Amino acid sequence: MSLTDDRLSKMNMRPDNTFPVPPGDQLPKGPRWPALVQSAALMRYRHSFIPALQKKYGDVFALRLIPERRPLVLFGKPDTTKQIFGSDPEVFHAGKGNAVLGPIMGEHSLLLVDGAQHKRARKLLMPAFRQSAMGGYEKVVTQIARDEVASWTPGVEFRSLERMNSLTLEVILRVVFGVADEERLVELRPLVNRTVDIKPLILLGWGYPFLQRFGPWKKVVEVQRQLDALLYAEIAERRRATDLHERTDVLSQLLLVGDSEGEEPLSDAELRDQLVTLLLAGHETTASGLSWALYELGLDADLLSRAQHAADNGDDDFLEAVMKESLRLHPIIPMVVRFLMAPATIGGVRLPAGVSVGPSIILAHRDPANFPEPDRFRPERFLDGEVAANTWIPFGGGVRRCIGAGFSLMEGVAVLREVLQKLDVRVVDGHTDQPLVRNITSVPEQGARIVVTARG
């Protein structure tokens, strides 16, 4: 059995019978539709479905999801968000809450492990994401962004999402994976794109392992085999390298780290799983945030002028506020999920073990109590001290806050700086965009179409 087949066998989303599925009288109110319908609605129409549920049932409601009608309870207020993020991680398991990603990310993924495994993995990965490492990464990101922007044709409409996806993919391959060989890059790019561009239906299908023998699910498995082969080959070659201490990419740094308490360094399988996790968590998420940012700047000439002034004068705080506001107004993921390993009371609601719970990012970011004028794109709110704790949560929170949050914001600022120092941006006349769900992320449905021209 190949390493890929072994992973898929282990991470097949078979029901966990440790906890019985709780009956409805132990849960908050929610829709009574079949679990498959609710799952599809949550995956495909989340931006309208979740607010509609809040309107009907209030700030706490329950869903039933495949494969075994396991309940998910969503919360919409900062006090419950704070409680969930601050609760005992031995009871509030994040790994089980992210199980839908298991077949692709693997059993060692930082997003899928809990307890001692999570502490070890985070400890070993943390050095690669310290502030001291960001300077080296930023230089490479800036050069990649400079080359990308130089390829744009002034006056010609294009989909910024496509260009940002290409740019952030290059960042992942060069800065995270550390791949420099052009032949391997040519092989990796299409496989990575096909791994990222997974439709919601494919993700739902992981709940039924027999589907992996058919149609689009079978194709995804084949892509996984090809991508794994390339990643393991890259890891093997990197282990033989004699200049690891001189390399600045994340993979090379991960090969150098070990646990001060005597634990073994990361194995090949662990490295593979963490690399794919960083790929899925940091590629299209950042690309979508950047494309929405360019879209919003292209709608407002005054805001564009202020952002260009910030780029010209090294005001990275304002550019970071633009990225943060983009992630607020256009959430990339819908919620942060934890799985209850024991009964818990959240916001006065008593819930049994075996229930998934989490704050809704969509509801939190659109709540006028959290963000006055929530439909308005206003980066200044992140500079004026009006954003309270546990209201802006695109990277989660608590001990499970995304390890790459700083990297993502650094990358966004570096890219915006390169665009805005050189170009004016406007949205195509009459163009409006709405979110579209692709895999677990949301992207601009029309690709955030813009036109750029050289600054006068």
The predicted pLDDT at position 207 comes to 61
Judged by DSSP in three states, 172 sits in helix
The answer, yes or no, to whether residue 289 has pLDDT greater than 60, is: yes
Computed over every residue of the chain, the mean pLDDT equals 91
Tokens 């994040």 sit on residue: 94
Mean pLDDT of 309-319: 98
Q: Convert the pLDDT of each residue in 352-365 to its tens digit.
A: 999 999 999 999 99
The answer, yes or no, to whether residue 260 has pLDDT greater than 80, is: no
Question: Which residue type occupies 60?
Answer: V
Would you give the end-to-end CA distance of the chain in angstroms?
A: 61
Mean pLDDT of 12-17: 57
d(CA 148, CA 98): 33
Q: What's 360's DSSP letter?
A: B
Question: Which residue type occupies 297?
Answer: L
d(CA 60, CA 53): 9
CA 427 to chain centre: 25
d(CA 274, CA 122): 10
Q: Which residue has the higher pLDDT, 16 or 135?
A: 135
Axis crossing angle, helix 301-312 with helix 284-299, rounded to the nearest 10:
120
Percent of the chain surpassing pLDDT 70? 94
d(CA 384, CA 317): 12
d(CA 111, CA 363): 23
The answer, yes or no, to whether residue 328 has pLDDT greater than 50, is: yes
Judged by DSSP in three states, 63 sits in strand
The predicted pLDDT at position 261 comes to 47
Q: CA dihedral in degrees (234, 238, 239, 242; nearest 10)? A: 160
Q: Convert the pLDDT of each residue in 121-154 to its tens digit.
A: 998 899 889 888 898 899 999 999 999 999 999 9
CB 307 within 8 A of CB 267: no
Sheet hosting strand 70-75, strand order edge to edge: 60-65, 70-75, 356-359, 338-340, 92-93
Percent of the chain surpassing pLDDT 90? 70
The answer, yes or no, to whether residue 174 has pLDDT greater than 70, is: yes
Which of 25-39, 43-57, 77-91, 185-199 has the lowest average pLDDT? 185-199
Structural domains of the chain, ranges and CATH numbers in brackets: 3-454 (1.10.630.10)
Q: Convert the pLDDT of each residue in 242-259 to its tens digit.
A: 999 899 899 998 998 865
Mean pLDDT of 302-321: 98
